[in-house]
Amino acid sequence: AQTVTQSQPEMSVQEAETVTLSCTYDTSESDYYLFWYKQPPSRQMILVIRQEAYKQQNATENRFSVNFQKAAKSFSLKISDSQLGDAAMYFCAYRTLISVGSNYKLTFGKGTLLTVNP
């Protein structure tokens, strides 16, 4: 079974600075998806960025980018020019492409709580 580890329970960053959130995972599969989700106090899980494992190029969405190191099984999220609205719980997630009962299971890490200081 896959596992996802987020080693930083909490992180803080000054507004306009850059912060990197860490994520490592364990799998024997060669192809899969990786995601970062953001959960603000409103509770809704919002997709931040997605990476297909077969793509070598790191995904980027505006101020959010990832450093995907497949051999090291590492998938960190970099937030540039941090804004107050970035404050949230961030979850790293792994999605297998091998179905179990047609379920392509999504496995989450325990999350990193990001605080943005003005």
Partner 1 sequence: GAGVSQSPSNKVTEKGKDVELRCDPISGHTALYWYRQSLGQGLEFLIYFQGNSAPDKSGLPSDRFSAERTGGSVSTLTIQRTQQEDSAVYLCASSLVSNTIYFGEGSWLTVV
Q: What share of the chain is helix, strand, coil (3-state, %, to 5)?
A: 5, 55, 45
Is 36 an interacting residue with respect to partner 1 (CB under 8 A)?
Answer: no
35 vs 14, 15, 17, 23, 117, CA distance in Å? 24, 24, 23, 10, 25
Is 104 an interacting residue with respect to partner 1 (CB under 8 A)?
Answer: yes
Of 12-20, 30-38, 53-61, 68-76, the window that binds partner 1 (rule: CB under 8 A) is 30-38
Of 55-63, 64-72, 75-83, 109-117, the window that binds partner 1 (rule: CB under 8 A) is 109-117
Cβ count near 70 (within 10 Å): 15
Identity of the residue numbered 30: S
Q: How far is the CB of 18 from partner 1 (least distance, A)?
A: 25
Tell which one of 3, 17, 29, 110 touches partner 1 (CB under 8 A).
Answer: 110
CB nearer partner 1, residue 36 or residue 82: 36
Task: Dig out the tokens for 81 from the structure.
Answer: 């020019």
Identity of the residue numbered 63: R
Instruction: Provide the binding-site residues for partner 1, judged by CB under 8 A.
Output: 33, 35, 37, 42-47, 50, 91, 95, 97, 99-106, 108-111
